[in-house]
Amino acid sequence: MTTTTVSTTTFNIADISPWPPTLNFTPEVESGVSAAAALAFGPNWDTPMNELTSEQIMQDMLRLSPDIAEDMFAIAFGLPV
């Protein structure tokens, strides 16, 4: 076990809380949090960005900001914006 002295206080590293903090939820609570995140952020909320396809990104953009997505679509296909 590592011991550290800060000023005049000595404490064991094992006594320090983990960072980032971890919370142990029951399966029911975890399920509720997942469901809330899926409602708020869409079906791809837990997919890492580098694993999303361009279609999934476009669907999220259309859902979250249709005006910007429409302009990007027009630019991509050479249509007037």
Instruction: State how far the alpha carbon of 40 is from the alpha carbons of 24, 29, 45, in Å.
Output: 22, 16, 8
On whether residue 16 sits in a domain, the answer given is no
> Is residue 53 one of the residues assigned to a domain?
yes
Left (φ > 0), alpha (ψ -120 to 50) or beta: where does 24 sit? beta
**Which residue range forms the structural domain that includes residue 52?**
24-81
Distance CA 44, CA 37 (A): 10
Would 28 be classed as within a structural domain? yes
Q: Is residue 56 part of a domain?
A: yes
For position 28, what pLDDT does the model report?
92
Total count of domains within the chain: 1
**Cβ distance 13 to 3 under 8 Å?**
yes
- The 8-class DSSP code of residue 73 comes to H
Per-residue pLDDT, 43:
78
pLDDT of residue 6: 54
Residues lower than pLDDT 70 in the chain: 1-20
Token representation of residue 79 = 């249509």
Q: Is residue 45 part of a domain?
A: yes
**37 in any annotated domain:** yes
